[in-house]
Amino acid sequence: MGEDNADELRELGEQLQDASTVLQVQEIRNAWLGRKGIITARLKGVALLPVEERRQAGQQWNSVRLAIETMIDDALARLQNQEEILQLEQERLDMTIPGIEPAVALLHPLTRVRRLVEDVFLRMGFTLSYGPEVESEWYNFEALNIPPNHPARDMQDSFFVDIPNLVLRTHTSPVQIRGMQAAAGQLPVKIIAPGRVYRRDDDPTHTPMFHQIEGLVVDHKISLADLQGTLLAMTKDLLGSDIRTRFRPSYFPFTEPSMEVDVTCAACNGTGCRVCKGTGWVEILGSGMVHPVVLRNGGYDPKQVTGFAFGLGIERLAMRIFELDDLRLLYQNDLEFLSRFSRYTGRPAL
Ligand code: PHE
């Protein structure tokens, strides 16, 4: 390779050094190796040489062309790599940017509240359990120590179906019995049972179909303190640590003693208003220590084990969380109304 060639290669090297994009290198390649490029012209020139020089000159220019191609390929590889890195850096995924909220297929506020409650109990080690909505009178009433003359059985309260001994379940409590039977004597029984329930009620705070979450814990030495501790943990988790909670003595045939749990009204913060009927409190659940008859019907010996149970009204809790004064709004399928709550993620500052 003569002096000329070395100079040319040096010049090419400098050009490539200065190039900062793949496009620039492609232009350089064109200028040297393209149809009207420098090397192409030289190779054409070879054909004009006298025959004895042609062979050698041809070989020489060919090897120059190979050298040039290698240099250009190297430069291309280097820049492609650099551009890739640059692109990757520019495209870096920022996981902290808020997502785009879908305009359709939002979860219904009641579904959101149900899932919030489920999460609280699943974190405490409960498992999910389900029962049928068309239930036998035995599971819905007898097994739960509800006598035949109890007002809950009355035509005013229950929806009976045409098939004898069947009823649309009036609460999720029959799953207490089903859950114990399924556990077949194993301990502990620690379940929650969400689902639809039906009663012949219809006013601003009652709909004929509504949702409950039943809870049941059965084990050795379960006490009222366990019940209170569990439910306090739940109200604080769902409504924030500032929430005030009140346990009120009550009566259910399937618990003894029985308690109802109230939380401060969200609409007035406890001062008394239309939503809480002036009391400052909203009832969210019924609870108590499982009645011995119920334990026995579930296959457990009340001399060996004790338990607590609760039934939480999802609509009531939703009213408290979303500050609603008419729960029928939840069932009118007004998308504008329903989507107002789509941003609620639960978990207030604790
Ligand atoms: N089943 C009762 C109701 O629907 C609530 C409840 C459940 C009470 C469990 C005590 C224990 O009102």
DSSP 238: H
CB 234 within 8 A of CB 314: no
What is the C-alpha separation between 146 and 148, in angstroms, rounded?
A: 7
Annotated domain spans of the chain: 3-90, 109-341
Q: How far is the CA of 142 from the centre of ligand 1 (A)?
A: 14
Residue nearest to atom 4 of ligand 1 (CA): 171
How far away, in angstroms, is 40 Cα from ligand 1 center? 93
Give pLDDT, residue 349.
Answer: 41
Q: Which atom of ligand 1 is nearest to the CA of 287?
A: 10
What integer pLDDT is reported at residue 1 of this predicted model? Answer: 45
pLDDT of residue 270: 85
CA 303 to chain CA centroid, nearest Å = 42
| Ligand 1 atom index nearest CA of 286 | 8
Buried b (16+ CB within 10 A) or exposed e, 297-310: bbebeeeebbbbbb
Ligand 1: residue whose CA is nearest its atom 7:
311
Does ligand 1 have an atom closer than 6 angstroms to the CB of 286? Answer: yes
Q: Is 179 in the pocket of ligand 1 (CB under 6 A)?
A: no
173 lines ligand 1 (CB under 6 A): yes
**Residue 176 CA, closest ligand 1 atom number:** 9
Give every CB contact of residue 41 below 8 A, 6+ residues apart in sequence. none
Give 313's DSSP letter.
Answer: E
pLDDT at 156: 63
Phi/psi of residue 5, each to 5°? -65, -40
Q: How far is CA 64 from CA 45, 88, 137, 196, 300, in A?
A: 14, 36, 97, 84, 94
**Other Cβ atoms within 10 Å of 207 Cβ, number:** 17
Where the chain has pLDDT below 50, the residues are: 1, 349-350
What are the structure tokens assigned to 202, written together? 């219809």
pTM of the predicted model over 0.75: no
CATH H-level, domain 109-341: superfamily: Bira Bifunctional Protein; Domain 2 (3.30.930.10)
In which residue are the tokens 């439910």 written? 231
Among 254, 308, 316, 317, residue to substitute to test ligand 1 (most atoms within 8 Å of Cβ) = 254
* Index of the ligand 1 atom closest to the CA of residue 171: 4
Mutational test site, ligand 1, from 139, 141, 150, 171, max ligand atoms within 8 Å of CB: 171
What secondary structure letter does DSSP report for 203?
B
Ligand 1 centroid–CA 285 distance in Å is 7
Give tens-digit pLDDT for 291-313: 999 999 999 999 999 999 999 99
The CB of 252 under 6 Å from ligand 1? The reply is yes
Which SS3 state, helix, strand or coil, does residue 218 take? strand
Give DSSP secondary structure letters for 241-305. TT--EEEEEEEETTEEEEEEEEEE-TTTTTS--TTTTTSSEEEEEEEEEEPHHHHHHTT--TTT-
At residue 44, the pLDDT reads 85
pLDDT at 122: 96
